[in-house]
């Protein structure tokens, strides 16, 4: 029964989020999942609203990284080429200021991307950019997946952050439209004789 513990420990040792051999990871079809705290993503922290809860740096992003190797020939008979890919998903939330009501709110992040892992900058520059679903990254023997995760969260941030429905706007709509509470009608004043009627009465009494 000690098998799962052993293999979990082994894979934890094999994968370092800040420094991993990305080529080897993709070639062997590596697959890891884990958590990163906001405090380890300084560029996300810098984007976080000033009014975010004090616990914001403790918020967790869940990530998965999966390596894929494909061997294919450009055309029949051509030499078989090795292509490496990395699938990345990141889920979490970032506290932002709503541009509509100016209140802080948690923007959900749920992003997934497939990258082709290139051997060098030159190869990356030469890669055809005809696939919107596929981005290109340059691999390394000491690749920082942490920075890639941070990049993905930054790219997923909205350029104009807004609540789906602003609580403040929502309330004002409710009270401003047919929900408006009319001021209560003043209670019926006691029927009093008008001063003129009283005067008239005095006159007739004389
Ligand atoms: Zn709002």
Residue 189 lies in a domain: no
Per-residue pLDDT of the chain (206 residues; tens, 9 = 90+): 444 444 444 444 467 999 999 999 999 999 999 999 999 999 999 999 999 999 999 999 999 999 999 998 878 888 888 999 999 999 999 999 999 999 999 999 999 999 999 999 998 888 877 777 789 999 999 999 999 999 999 999 999 999 999 996 555 555 544 444 444 445 555 555 565 555 555 555 54
Cα(205) to centroid(ligand 1), Å: 71
Residue 114 falls inside a structural domain: yes
Provide the domain limits for residue 21. 9-167
In a domain, 89, yes or no: yes
Residues, Cβ < 5 Å to ion ligand 1: 98, 100-101, 163, 166
In a domain, 196, yes or no: no
Number of domains making up the chain: 1
Decide: pTM greater than 0.75.
Answer: no
Gap between the Cα atoms of 67 and 84, Å rounded: 7
State the distance from the centre of ligand 1 to the C-alpha of 34, rounded, in angstroms.
31
Residue 56 lies in a domain: yes
Distance 97 CA to ligand 1 centre (A): 8
| Residue 131 within any structural domain of the chain | yes
Q: How much distance in Å is there from the Cα of 196 to the middle of ligand 1?
A: 59
Q: Which residues touch 134 (CB under 8 Å, ≥6 apart)?
A: 114, 115, 116
Is 85 part of any domain?
Answer: yes
| Residue 38 maps to a domain | yes
């Amino acid at each position: 029964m000690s098998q799962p513990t052993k293999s979990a420990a082994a894979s934890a040792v094999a994968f370092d989020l800040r420094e991993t051999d990305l080529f080897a990871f993709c070639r062997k079809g590596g697959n890891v999942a884990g958590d990163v705290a906001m405090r380890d993503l300084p560029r996300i922290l810098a984007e976080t609203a000033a009014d975010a809860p004090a616990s914001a740096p403790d918020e967790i992003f869940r990530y998965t990284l999966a390596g894929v190797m494909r061997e294919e020939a450009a055309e029949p008979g051509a030499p078989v080429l090795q292509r490496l890919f990395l699938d990345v998903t990141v889920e979490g939330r970032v506290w932002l200021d709503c541009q509509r009501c100016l209140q802080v709110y948690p923007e959900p992040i749920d992003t997934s991307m497939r990258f082709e892992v290139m051997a060098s900058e030159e190869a990356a520059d030469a890669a055809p950019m005809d696939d919107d679903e596929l981005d290109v990254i340059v691999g390394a023997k000491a690749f920082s997946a942490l920075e890639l995760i941070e990049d993905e969260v930054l790219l997923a941030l909205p350029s104009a952050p807004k609540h789906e429905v602003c609580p403040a706007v929502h309330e004002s709509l409710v009270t401003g439209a047919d929900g408006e509470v009319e001021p209560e009608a003043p209670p019926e004043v006691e029927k009093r004789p008008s001063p003129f009627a009283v005067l008239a009465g005095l006159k007739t009494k004389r």
